[in-house]
Structure 1
């Protein structure tokens, strides 16, 4: 197979230096309640082993993990049906397209729609999965991990055994594998003998390919197993204040790397882009989805933070809402047809990162006041 470009989805946990910078930028307000950490209700609850009710965070994660597993199971059914049709044609894709054009088009387009649904289900819980140390290995395997290679970091943990008996060793994260297969940006994973007009518009547009049935089925079978494992662990996981605040501090200030990835995709760089990935969904949508999940986490921690510093709780919520609005506004412009330039992406990324770093600093400082350790 041809060389695979670096996946570049990995999350960078904050170093002590970065945390210090976040504290400086954050500029937390003084305790408006006039309480020190030992006197506040939140700190007293923390010291006595009591915790705020974070059951809504647990429920949110399980709901999203269930949705992801449902989507991957649906994708598996589609991959199996497509595989059987290809097998009947002895994996001769020209013959398959000639005999089953309507059915094949329906299956491939349906698979792409399932991918889009699955992607959103995952991104909306990614802030929790990637931000909590007990769950973060799933983010590597599902959405962030790189293929094995010379000097590669954050490599996925799994191999994929294909129906034909071949094994692909640590080939990359599952969304990467599915996207490159269904949109054909890795030519080794798509049929090269057919140029299908899947949507019947009279032209073969970017991303219109027949996926290699062998790799499509192999990737999807393994993806279902991984999503099932995530769901099981999500059901067993119980959120703690340490988990919630760590997820916020780790995941909110990742804006610049996401905007950099967005700049390098077709959504900004157009035909000049050399990126094989992020062709199906704009990174702006991914960022907005991630932040929406983190808003849920913050909303459930806000009463505890407010017990220590009510003014700070309100300020952080307002700034997080502003960050979400900033990203969502850009995404709405993009959906409406605005074509942003690479230099604009850099500027937007810097602005978003500044906002995010300030938020992380505020949360880090209030966590210290509450006696909650950030595991970053």
Structure 2
């Protein structure tokens, strides 16, 4: 049974101002000193970025190891997946469990920095390839890479790597799973939602590629200088994306129900969690530039900080409600998405105006 909201939906946006002020204020003391060192850029944002890229490398290292172990098991059984489950069921379960655990950790490691990576034109391609890009059927948003499989086949612009890996691991994309085999990975005699038996060649190529991309991103992050223009650009680009994310959430198994979802991805982690993670990075970035905005317009700087903190707190509140068992309807998802999108657009507009007042460039993608 779907429970009703414990309070009116509109009140979800009215998170206590004191919490918003606390969130928005984090990091402000350090960022003020960075403004005196323009050559170093926004060092707190860079440190935040590199900490997350390093974490992503670590998690994709584990994911690659698990994926290659799974591939080796499939190869040893001549890619006869039924035979593999019979002969090496425990090892298969262990490898795929390790892969799932690594994926679940890799997801927030990336999402918390996505606002920076995707919001800056010179790093945005990583976001396309790792997390957001489509396949070749939509050339404007397609990923840049092809996957060459161990068997020699080539998957041309197959879609973003998180999608490829998650939907294979969790069995929601039959194009990426073993054909004609009951994927009872844990050996309990039944197939539960979320059990998947990846096609080993495509899976190995995908985990190898995401590990390579993570390392390339980490290398570039170590070398990059984050400028005020980068920070303003990332906030104005990535904040007003709420309606898209809520639509994905609505179509996922978390709202539509297991087996009834139209969205193959977002199975391991709710899109609500991703939204909160993305806003965490955006909020951190704003705290770094807030003193600069305040020098020109203190009231506006404070208002934007409060509204952004409010948006983040709302996302966290919804995430925690769902994690505690709250079930949302498609109608509620639409309403919440519209409300948060409107608030996000106001924030983006305020930051755009602040950039104009400070003569700071908002970069074009």
Tell whether the structures are fold-level matches, with TM greater than 0.5: yes
Asked if the contact 2:229/2:360 (under 8 Å) is kept, the reply is: yes
Where does structure 1 lack aligned partners over 5 or more consecutive residues? 1-44
Match of 2:267 in 1: 279
- 1:93–1:193 Cα contact (<8 Å) kept: no
User: In structure 2, what is the equivalent of residue 233 of structure 1?
Assistant: 220
- Superposition pairs for residues 1-376 of structure 1, below 5 Å? 50=38, 54-149=42-137, 151-199=138-186, 203-270=190-257, 271-376=259-364
Q: 1:274, CA displacement in angstroms?
A: 2.1
1:201 is displaced (CA, Å) by 5.5
**Runs of 4+ off more than 6 Å:** none
Contact 1:148 / 1:169 at 8 angstroms: preserved in 2?
yes
Residues 172 and 196 in structure 2, CA contact (< 8 A), matched pair in contact too: no
Whether contact under 8 Å (1:105, 1:199) holds in the other structure is yes
Distance in 1 (alpha carbons) for counterparts of 2:144 and 2:74 = 30
Q: CA deviation digits over 1:147-174, x for unaligned, max 9? A: 002x543111110000001111110111
Distance (Å, rounded) in 1 between the aligned partners of 2:308 and 2:179: 46
Cα distance in 1 for partners of 2:207, 2:313 equals 35
How many residues matched?
Answer: 331
SS in 2 for 1:203: coil
TM-score, normalising length from structure 1?
A: 0.84
Q: Could you tell me how far apart the structure 1 residues matched to 2:188 and 2:319 are?
A: 27
For the residue of structure 2 that corresponds to 1:168, the secondary structure is: strand
Deviation at 1:51, TM superposition (A): 6.8
Q: Distance in 1 between matches of 2:98 and 2:37?
A: 49
Q: CA deviation at 1:203?
A: 3.5
The alignment yields a C-alpha RMSD, in angstroms, of 2.0
